[in-house]
Structure 1
C-alpha cells in the first residue's frame, strides 16, 4: 500500500506515532513506527491489536515494512482519532470534566476493558494518554505494554506507568485484569480533577513504595456524587480478588444514567480551574522504556531505587500537521 507519512503526533510505549494518508483513498490513519531491528515490542502489539475488534478499541488497519532513510521500518497502522487523547479533552474542558461526561467516557472505556479481558488480554497501561477520543466517544489505544493472561506461560516483567499502578503490580507480584481496573479508577480521578491520582509525591521510589506498602488508596474527589464515590471504591480495593471486574462495574448504578450515547452533556469550564500540571513529579522523564523490573518487598532501599527508576512517559502529542511535512512511503515488495 502506498501511503504518505505526516507529522509525528506523539510516542507510544515502544515507537513514534505519525499521522498518515493513503495515496489511493486519501484516508487519514495513524501509523506507529520503529526500526525493524528494534520492533519486537511493536510486533507484539500488532499481534495483539490484530486479534481485537470492538467499537471501544482503536481499529487495527494493518502493518508493513518500509525503507526510509536507508533504514527498514516496521509500521503498525491504526484508526486516526482526530480529537486526540482523553488527557487533551481534560485540558480543553478547563482542567477537569463534569460528572455526566465522566460517566459517558467511563461506560465506553469499561466496555472496552470488558472486551479485552474477555479475550484473555491485560492492557497494563490504562491512563488518560492511552484513551483516544473521536466522534463516537472514547476508545482504548496503545497496547505496547499489553500481555496475554496465560498461567501456563512464564511471567513477564511488569510494565506501565507508576502513577497508575495497582498495589500488587508495585510489589512485583502480578499484573492481571484487576490491575487494569485500579488504573482505570486512577483515570477517573484524572478526569474529575485534572491532577494526578497521587499527591505530594517527590520521586518514583517513594511513590511506588507508598502504593505497594502504605495500605492507602488514591483520594476520591469530594466533588463527585455518592454513587461515583462508591464506584471508585470498588475500583480501589487493595486486594485484587476483591476489586470489581469490568463486567460488574458496568452494572453499577453510577453508569445507569449515562448509557445513552446521544445524551447531551454540560461542557462548560469549572469556576475554579486546577492549574497543577497533571504530568508533574514522577511523570516527567525523557526515557521511552516503560519496563519496570520485578520488585520484591525484601529489596534494599538502594535496589528499590534502581528498579523503580526504570519507567517513562509518552510525549505530549501534537494533533496538527502541515502539508509540507508529508513524505511518500512505499511498502517493501511494491
Structure 2
C-alpha cells in the first residue's frame, strides 16, 4: 500500500516537472519567434498568428484537404459505424432498442446504411416494405425533396475562400402599399392623440376633425388612396415618410377658433336673413289683406274707392318694411 502511494506521488511529481519543462520550452519558442520577427522586420503578433495557423494546418491538415470520393465514403461509413456502436452500448447500459437508416441521395451507388441494435436492425429488415426496398424508397423521397429545395453545401465547400452574397430583391408593390398605410395611420394617431383616427386620403382638409394637417405631400402626386396610386408613387411617399419630410402637425388653437367663429357668424347671418324674410311675409299677410276675387271687365275698370284706399295702405306698409330691412342690413354689415 505504501509502495502504491509512493509511486503515485512520484508520478504526480513527474507530471508537474514535465508541465514546468513544457512551459519553459514554450517561453523559449516565443523568444525565438520574437527574434525572428525582429530579423524579418514584421510585428510579433503577425508572426505568432502565422505560426499558429501553420500549427493548426499541421494538426487538421487531413480534415481540410480535399478528399476523394472513396475517402469521403470511408469517412462517412466510419462515423456511422461509430454511432451504431454507441447505440449498442446504450442498449447494454439502459436496455433501450434502436435502429437508424442513412442514405445519400446524391450518390447513385449508395445502398444505404442500417445501424443500431440487433433487434432494431432485424425489425427493419423483416418488416413489410422495409429492408432494401424501403431504403430505395427513402432515397427516392429524399431526391424529390432536394429537387424542391437548394442543394446542401458539400463537404469541400465548408470553408469557402470567397463568400457569395445574392443581391437583395426589391419588396413587392403590395408590401410597399401596406407599409405606407400602416406608417401614415401610426403617424396620424400619434400626432392627433385619437386612437381610432383614419387618414382622409382623397380630402386632406377633412383632417381638421382631428385638429391636424398633413405637410410635405408632393405636388406631382394626386391626393388619392395608395390602392389607386402607382407603386413608384407609393414608394416615394414611403421614403418621404421615413425621412420625416411627410408628416402631420397639430393645428394651432387660434386658427381652429377662427374657423369656428367664421362658421358661427355665417350661421348667424343665415338665421337673420330667415327672420327678415319671415317678417316681410308677416307684414304682407298680417294686415288682413286678401287678394281680390276675380271680376269682370266692367267691375275691373272702375274700382271702388275703399279698394283703392286699401291698396295704397298696403303699398305703403310694404315700402316701409323694405326700407327698414335694408337699413338693418347696412347696419349689420357696418358692425
Structure ranking higher in helix proportion: 2
Structure ranking higher in strand proportion: 1
Higher relative contact order (CA 8 A, sep 6+): 1
What TM bracket, shorter-length normalisation? under 0.3
Using the size of structure 1 for normalisation, the TM-score is 0.16
Rg bigger for which structure?
A: 2
